[in-house]
Amino acid sequence: MHRYLARGLIAAIALGLGSPALARAICPAELGTAIERHLQQPQWQPGQWGIAVQVLGTGAVLYSHQADKLFLVASNVKLTTTAAALAYWGANYRLETVISATGRSPQLERLRVQGGFDPSLSDQDLQQIARTLAQQGVQRIQTLEIAGAQKTWIEPTWALEDLKMGDAAAVTRLSVNQNALEVDALPQQLGQPLTLVWRQPTAARSWQLVNQTRTVATSEPEFLEAEVGDRQITIRGQLHVGSAAGDIRVPLPQPAPYIQAQIEQALQAAGITVEGTTLIEATDHLPEVLLRHGSPPIGELIVPINQDSDNFYAEMLYVALEQARSGYRQQYLDQQGLGTVVLVDGSGLSRQNWLTPHALTTLLQGVYRRPDYPLWWRSLPLAATSGTLRNRFQGTAAQGRVWAKTGTLRGVVALAGYADPPNHPPLAFSIVLNQAGTPIPQLRNGLDAIVLELIKLVNCDPP
């Protein structure tokens, strides 16, 4: 299986991302001393570190520090969700949105749009579905039934600030555009507010935008955030003068009216008249199935979850898995031998999720032995190159050599995945730091320094 890591490294070098010269190499026997020099620094004394480093494939332990202690690991929880989904459905399975009916064209008595937890369903997909119905001769629908848009799944232990700031979206069996509105923020002259433009112009009829943004010099940091209120969305943040537009996604706490509007508009644009609409929660389809719209395969759906840490995709996949077979993720983790884990959601947004570093490396080793490992490995962010690691490890020896899932909450940073030191067999590792009151960039720098020690490893065993 090491060949897949090597293949990724070759691709990175071809793109000009080869690692710079390594710092002083260290033998496996020296790794503990090297890491503990970091852990003993004064700034880390208020916190708790958990670290597990193993040789990939053999499971040989190279370093362990509180590896069996439960930690908040934030979005590292997504690894459990995507691994379980791949194991249950397989890489080629697709989640389906089913369109069924009673009556005959050109006038249908009932048309049911039945959701199947597809997180990728978009208004463009709805437009294609509507055009297909029109091509089948549908001209009028007496009753449009929208099935699966009303009941929402929102984990009760999510923090209120995460819900208000748009980090979490309501999960529904039928979703459109990730149950969110999108706003483009365009920089203006220095000191001026950003211009905010709806991606979906019809949203302006129902929501008021409050603009608390500004255009700043390149010396200042960039950020954008949204807070959802009662029919009001407040956009805060700043972008550099002359920079590209920013994209803000604003999750809707009650998405059913938005989903209904998107479906009705798609049908109307295709020339199909709808006499009335009703929202239902039926999970079966009507006698005549007109078409089935499949999501991208599971092997592709895990990419935005692992690569970009998409909370909505993760929660949709987790709830779909629970609906398909209640408790399956926990059963899968038990079968893999992860030991004690406490998980309440699919994304890691809750502060009631607890995992050990040893559990995470056990999971990573287990997936490595599966036939779909290459797909899983490619779904992870690559240091200095892609996903949530795009801007980390740039210009270091880890560039192009670490594939790992990030995790971030207030006071929490985590990184779990695979490393490929140039002169040592590949590694599976999990590093987590729980330390309240310290800025996230400082926590990340401390964690990344330990990853760089892993890349220095050389195989010092005698021939």
Q: Are 102 and 288 spatial neighbours (Cβ–Cβ below 8 Å)?
A: yes
160: in domain: no
> Does one domain contain both 423 and 327?
yes
- Give the domain CATH number at 72: 3.40.710.10
> Does one domain contain both 319 and 378?
yes
462: in domain: no
> Does one domain contain both 316 and 445?
yes
> Does one domain contain both 48 and 21?
yes
Q: How is 209-237 classified by DSSP, letter by letter?
A: EEEEEEEE-TTS--EEEEEE-SSEEEEEE
365: in domain: yes
pTM of the model: 0.89
Per-residue pLDDT of the chain (463 residues; tens, 9 = 90+): 333 343 333 333 333 333 444 458 999 999 999 999 999 999 999 999 999 999 999 999 999 999 999 999 999 999 999 999 999 999 999 999 999 999 999 999 999 999 999 999 999 999 999 999 999 999 999 999 999 999 998 888 887 666 655 677 789 999 999 998 889 999 999 999 999 999 887 777 788 899 999 999 999 988 888 888 778 889 999 999 999 999 888 888 889 999 999 999 999 999 999 999 999 998 899 999 999 999 999 999 999 999 999 999 999 999 999 999 999 999 999 999 999 999 999 999 999 999 999 999 999 999 999 999 999 999 999 999 999 999 999 999 999 999 999 999 999 999 999 999 999 999 999 999 999 999 999 999 999 999 999 999 999 876 5
261: in domain: no
Find all residues with CB under 8 Å of 138, minimum gap 6, and list them.
Answer: 105, 106, 108, 111, 272, 290
Domain that holds residue 237: 177-251
Strands (E) located in 115-263: 140-147, 180-186, 195-198, 208-216, 223-228, 232-240, 246-251
Q: Which two tokens stand for residue 348?
A: 């890691």
Find all residues with CB under 8 Å of 102, minimum gap 6, and list them.
Answer: 108, 109, 110, 286, 287, 288
115: in domain: yes
- Give the domain CATH number at 134: 3.50.80.20
> Does one domain contain both 307 and 426?
yes
SS3 label, residue 133: helix
**458: β partners:** 423
> Does one domain contain both 363 and 422?
yes
161: in domain: no
Q: Using CA atoms, how far apart are residues 113 and 105, in angstroms rounded to an integer?
A: 17
> Does one domain contain both 303 and 287?
no
CA 445 to chain centre: 22
φ and ψ of 375, to 5 deg: -65, -45
> Does one domain contain both 304 and 433?
yes
Using the structure block, give the residue that is written with the tokens 């090297």. 34
Q: Using CA atoms, how far apart are residues 167 and 248, in angstroms rounded to an integer?
A: 11
DSSP at 355:
B
257: in domain: no
DSSP strand pairing (208-216 vs 232-240): parallel
Domains in the chain: how many in total? 3
In the β-sheet with 402-409, what is the strand arrangement from edge to edge? 61-65, 48-55, 427-434, 412-419, 402-409
> Does one domain contain both 147 and 28?
no
> Does one domain contain both 88 and 107?
no
> Does one domain contain both 355 and 433?
yes
> Does one domain contain both 210 and 231?
yes
Q: Using CA atoms, how far apart are residues 341 and 236, in angstroms rounded to an integer?
A: 37
265: in domain: no
